[in-house]
Structures are given as C-alpha cells and as structure tokens.
Amino acid sequence: MKKNHIGKIEYNKEIAKDTYKLVISSDVKEIKAGQFISIYCENKTLRRPFSVADFKDGDITVLYKLKGDGTHYIKNLNENDKIDFLAPLGNTFNFENVNSALLIGAGIGIAPMLFLKKELDKNGIKNHLISGFKDALEVVEGSNQVVIGGSVLDEIENAVEKIKPDIIYSCGPSIVLKLVSEFGIKNNIKTQIAMEKVMACGIGVCRGCIIELKNGKNASVCKDGPVFLGDAVQW
Amino acid sequence: MVDLSVNLNGFKLQNPIMTASGTYGYADEYDDFIDVSKLGAIVTKAISIEPKKGNSGERLFETYGGMINRIGLENLGIEEFISKKLPILKEKNINYVMNLAGSTVEDYIKAAEIAQSAGIKAIEVNVSCPNVKQGCLEFGTNPNSLGHLTSEIRKIYKGFLIIKLTPNVSDIESLAKSAEDNGADCISAINTLKGLGVKVEITPDKKIKKTFVQGGLSGRCIKPVALSMVKRIKAVVNIPIIGIGGIANIEDILEFLTVGADAIQIGTENFCHPDITIKLINELTKIIESLNLESLDELKRKLRDE
C-alpha cells in the first residue's frame, strides 16, 4: 500500500558526474523494479519522482541526476537526515514467462534497469544490460555493456542477435523509448518501457502526467505506469 | 469536545475542511493516506455530461510557490461517476460535492437534472468554462450570463447549489451578487488564476528550446488574491462563502476564516502532503481549545470581532 514515509538518509554521494546515489533506510515493506518514490523537497510545490534502483530490507536506493531545484535540495541533505517520501508508487516491470531479456538504459534511465537486472538474476532469467551515457565521467557501474557518446540504439541489433531476447526493457529519454518500441514492433519482440513525466500528485488523481495509448485512452504515468508496453503507447 | 461542525445554509459539514475540485479525484482515491470520511467534504473533479479526454501535450508547470495546470477537464463523464464512484462515496460515508462543468447552459441544465434525480445533495458549478455559444467567453466573467446560468440550474436543482467563482475578473462583487440574486446557496472562491509558464533553455548545440504552458495557476502564491476576493465577496453577499486558494497550513485557515470564509478547500497542497487535511483538522481543534472556546462558530466570531 502506498504511504507517506519518513526515512533516514544512509548515503548521499556523487558516484559519477552530476549523478548521485541516495540510500534511504525506511519501514517500506516492498518495492519492485519499475516502481518509484516521490520525495518532498522543501519550498517546492511538487514532490520529485525517482525510479528505485535497488531495494532490500527497507533500504531504498535511488540514483539522481542534478538538474533543478529539487535535486539540488536533495543533494544538500546529509547522512542521518530525515527524508519525507511517498512509496511505493506506480506499477512494475513484468517478467512472467520471460526466458531471455535485453535491458536498455539511457542516461539516468539506468536506475530502474539495475533493479530489474537484479530481480531477473535472482529469478534465473538470462539478461543483458546495455547502458548509454553522454560521456565517460557519467558512467554508473553495473551494466554488461556501456556505450559512451553514441546511441544505445546502435547496439540493439547485435545484442538481439546474440542473446535472442523474448523482451526488451528500457528506461531513458522519450526518444530512446520510442525507438526501442518501434524496434520491438518491427522485429516482433515485446517491449516494456518505463516513462518519465512531470507529475503533481503521483497517485493518478490530478491527471497531470497523461500519455495517450493506441487504443485511444489516456493513461497516467504515475499510476497506470510508469511501465507500459512499448507497442501500446501512441507516440 | 470541540465542535468543528459547519452548517452552510443547510448543507452540513462535520468540519470546515474540504478538498478542492481537481485535486482529490472522485471518491476515495486518498484512502491509502487518510480516512477520507473524516473530512468536511470532498469536491469531485469537474464532471461533464460526456467523458472528456482533456488536453494533449504538457499539462503541468511548476512555478515559484505554485503550479500551472492545463488538464482540460479530463473526466469520466456523469454517467460513469454515478454508476462507479457514487456507490463508493455512499459505502464509505464520504460527504461530497459534485463539481459540474459544461460548454453550454443546456449542458449544465442536463447535468443538474441528473444530479437532482440521482439524489446528489450538493453541487459546485465550475463557471470558469468557456461558453461556446457566446464566443467562448467564460460563464463566470459576465454577471448577466452567470446570473442566467445560476437561475436555470436553480429551477431544476433543489439541492445545495455552490457557484465557484473565477478570479479572472475585475468586478468580483457583481458576479458574487449575481450568483446570490439568482438562487445560489453558497459561493466558493477562487478558481485558478490565468497564468503562463515559460521555460527557455539553451541546448548544448546552442539552440533555443522554449516551453509554454498556459493554464490555471494554483498553490500558495495565489493566497493573497484569494483572501482579497473572499473579503470583497463577503462585503456584498449574505450567503456562506467557501474560501479556496493556496491554503497549506493552519495560519492560512485562520486568515480565510477572518476575512469571511465559512469553510475552506485545500487544493494543490494535497499533491505534496496527501494527509494535510487531517493534520489541519487536528490543528484547528487545538487552536480552538487553546483559546478556551468550544466551537468553530465561536472561533469565527472571535477572529472577526477582535
């Protein structure tokens, strides 16, 4: 059940260029790959949503890129500081009946991919994670294959040939997700993508983070998503 | 035991804390965070005769002390509200007000008929919608069209009729008066202010990227406007007033009660603090106790007289 939690910061340091790792200890019972938390940032009207990069025994790991006021506020929080967040929010990646998976993370989109990779490993599902970064200083560890400067999309075909995935999972900028979805449709491979949008409530109420689906319906990224079937999204 | 109850011209609330339309869903959406039945009332998202998909493109823009939205009245339509959400409200004993939106007077009349036959006890009319038959000017910006709309709804709807005023006018007094003269039981104010969010970014390849979000401004930054409007409305009408606009803490509530609000609605703050309403009910109780008073009515008198 989603709740308002007050956690304690265990770790909050830069792990790559402008990229921070935040670990919060909390009383949260369960979070699954794909889900997110939304953090209260003092003096901001809206909370900030972050994909979860790992979860174990109440410890929630989040990776964030320094961008605006919200992330600068979080950056300045210290170990042992209290942190107010809503969790767990959104739906999860599904890996039922998956035997082999290709994971593609672009930029900070690597965060949920790392969590998903861990869950796939735990379930004995063969997987391969490609992640792309603008430059070498931004690389976050944990991928099987790193692309620097270029496009992660250039590597899809080779990887597909090599590992023959039943499904491609991806998170990153909208343009990457669109191309991954189109690749999946063209090559008859299922895709699940985790989307990002500016959010207000985080629980599906305000209808601020809406995307359109091919069936003509609206879906909220925060509640119906953030994970969608790539072929269901109207780009 | 402090008595927080409010009797708004016959519509009773167990306390003055309501939630504003568009920020609280239709029924029990906040049940994970609080017991929604403890609130004075929730006001549903604006409901139109037919379901609406709302606007495409970016719908939100955070500003200093607030936010701009252009949701475009996305909603499930009145039939689905009655078949799916009304049973939840009844089962969970949640006091509610149905917020109505339309594009023509006929839309509102039809919605009022449905509300009447469904036994809905209170409606709040969103008059910030463009009147498509009158050049898309908002119903709520002209006293004559607002008066006409109010009286047409009044003829059909026998329940508690709230008119929610827009602040995007120069003469709020004549609009409030027009609503009262044409049969409104209560006024709620204010709806969002018109605003434009602009973001100019310089991309790494030195191009200019612009984002515009034109919509309704809400949140803490609009409180002074709302307070001013409530005070001005209070000076000209005798019906109760529900204050709305940037309320986020107990001090804000005291300010609204002081200038004439009989109840208040919390809007944007719900997004950040989903349990804010319950906290404020508790704080209001404590304030009344600390003044050695017994009821909200006594607190209102004290705030206004001293």
Print burial letters for B56-83: b (CB count within 10 Å at least 16), e (below 16).
eebbbbbbebbbbbbbbbbbbebeebbe
Q: Is A5 on the interface with B (CB under 8 A)?
A: no
Q: What is the pLDDT of residue B130?
A: 74
Residue B208 CA to residue B164 CA, distance in Å, equals 40
Residue A1: pLDDT band (50, 70, 90) is confident
Contacts of B69 in chain A (CB under 8 A): 200, 206, 208
Q: Is B129 a catalytic residue?
A: yes
Print burial letters for A178-214: b (CB count within 10 Å at least 16), e (below 16).
ebbbebbeeeebbbbbbbbbbbbbbbbbbbbbbbeee
For testing contact with chain B, the best of A1, A43, A201, A213 (most B CBs within 10 A): A201
Of A201, A204, A218, the CB nearest to B53: A218
Task: Tokens 């449709």: give the residue.
Answer: A185
3-state secondary structure of A107: helix
Residue A80 CA to residue A49 CA, distance in Å, equals 21
- Domains along chain B? 6-55+72-193+217-305 (3.20.20.70)
Residue A150: pLDDT band (50, 70, 90) is confident
Q: What is the pLDDT of residue B266?
A: 98
Q: What is the pLDDT of residue B1?
A: 86
Nearest Cα to Cα of residue B271 among B101, B77, B75, B71? B71
Of A4, A208, A218, the CB nearest to B274: A4
Task: Tokens 């909220």: give the residue.
Answer: A220
pLDDT, tens digit (0-9, with 9 covering 90-100), for A74-108? 999 999 999 999 999 999 999 999 999 999 999 99
Distance from CA of B71 to the nearest CA of A (A): 6
Contacts of A201 in chain B (CB under 8 A): 23, 270-271, 274
User: Domain A3-89's class?
Assistant: mainly beta
A-facing residues of B in 188-247 (CB < 8 A) are: 219-220
Cα-based torsion angle of the residue sequence B208, B211, B217, B219 in order, rounded to the nearest 10 degrees: -80
Of A2, A206, A212, the CB nearest to B271: A206
Tokens of A91: 């739906």
Residue B119 CA to residue A203 CA, distance in Å, equals 29
B-facing residues of A in 30-59 (CB < 8 A) are: 40, 44-47
Q: Is A102 on the interface with B (CB under 8 A)?
A: no
Contacts of A235 in chain B (CB under 8 A): none
Task: Tell me whether residues A4 and B275 touch, CB distance under 8 A.
Answer: yes
Print burial letters for A43-61: b (CB count within 10 Å at least 16), e (below 16).
ebbbbbbbbbbbbeeeebb
Number of Cα atoms under 13 Å in the Cβ half of residue A208 = 26
Tokens of B150: 């109010």
Report the relative pairing of strands A36-39 and A126-133 from DSSP bridges: unpaired
Q: Is B24 on the interface with A (CB under 8 A)?
A: yes
Distance from CA of B60 to the nearest CA of A (A): 6
Residue B204: pLDDT band (50, 70, 90) is confident
Distance from CA of A202 to the nearest CA of B (A): 8
pLDDT, tens digit (0-9, with 9 covering 90-100), for B253-275? 999 999 999 999 999 999 999 99
Q: What residue type is B85 in one-letter code?
A: K
Any idea what DSSP says for residue B33?
T
Total length of chain B? 306
Nearest Cα to Cα of residue A54 among A30, A33, A85, A83? A33
Distance from CA of B298 to the nearest CA of A (A): 33
Contacts of A199 in chain B (CB under 8 A): 60
Residue A99 CA to residue B51 CA, distance in Å, equals 41
Task: Calculate what percentage of chain A has a pLDDT beyond 70.
Answer: 100
Task: Tell me whether residues B60 and A199 touch, CB distance under 8 A.
Answer: yes
Distance from CA of A150 to the nearest CA of B (A): 15
Nearest Cα to Cα of residue B304 among B244, B246, B237, B231? B231
Q: Is A88 on the interface with B (CB under 8 A)?
A: no
For testing contact with chain A, the best of B56, B59, B222 (most A CBs within 10 A): B59
Phi and psi at residue B190, in whole multiples of 5°?
A: -125, 160
Over 90: is that where the pLDDT of B16 sits? Answer: yes
Of A44, A86, A200, the CB nearest to B60: A200
CA-based radius of gyration for chain B:
19
Contacts of B23 in chain A (CB under 8 A): 201, 205-206
* A200 neighbors B58 (Cβ within 8 angstroms): no
> Domain segments of chain A: what residues?
3-89, 100-194
Alpha helices in chain B (DSSP H): 78-80, 86-91, 105-117, 143-156, 172-181, 223-234, 250-259, 269-272, 276-290, 296-305
For testing contact with chain B, the best of A42, A47, A210 (most B CBs within 10 A): A210
Which CATH fold would you assign to the domain A100-194? Rossmann fold (3.40.50)
Contacts of B25 in chain A (CB under 8 A): 204-205
Q: What is the pLDDT of residue B269?
A: 98
Q: What is the pLDDT of residue B136?
A: 65
Region B153-166: what's the mean pLDDT? Answer: 97
Q: What is the pLDDT of residue A195?
A: 97
CA distances from B284 to A233, B54, B115, B252 (A): 46, 37, 32, 11
Residue B135: pLDDT band (50, 70, 90) is low
In this prediction the ipTM stands at 0.94
What contacts B87, CB < 8 A, 6 or more positions away?
Answer: none
pLDDT, tens digit (0-9, with 9 covering 90-100), for B27-51? 999 999 999 999 999 999 999 999 9
Of A3, A40, A210, the CB nearest to B59: A210
Residue B93 CA to residue B99 CA, distance in Å, equals 18
Q: Is A211 on the interface with B (CB under 8 A)?
A: no
CA-based nearest residue in chain B for residue A43? B65
Nearest Cα to Cα of residue A14 among A63, A86, A69? A63
Angle, vertex CA B119, rays to CA B46 and CA B164, nearest 5: 35
3-state secondary structure of B72: coil
CA distances from B241 to A25, B227, B254 (A): 45, 12, 14
pLDDT, tens digit (0-9, with 9 covering 90-100), for A101-149? 999 999 999 999 999 999 999 999 999 999 999 999 999 999 889 999 9
Task: Tell me whether residues A46 and B271 touch, CB distance under 8 A.
Answer: yes
Adjacent-strand bridge partners of B280:
none
Tokens of A181: 């979805």
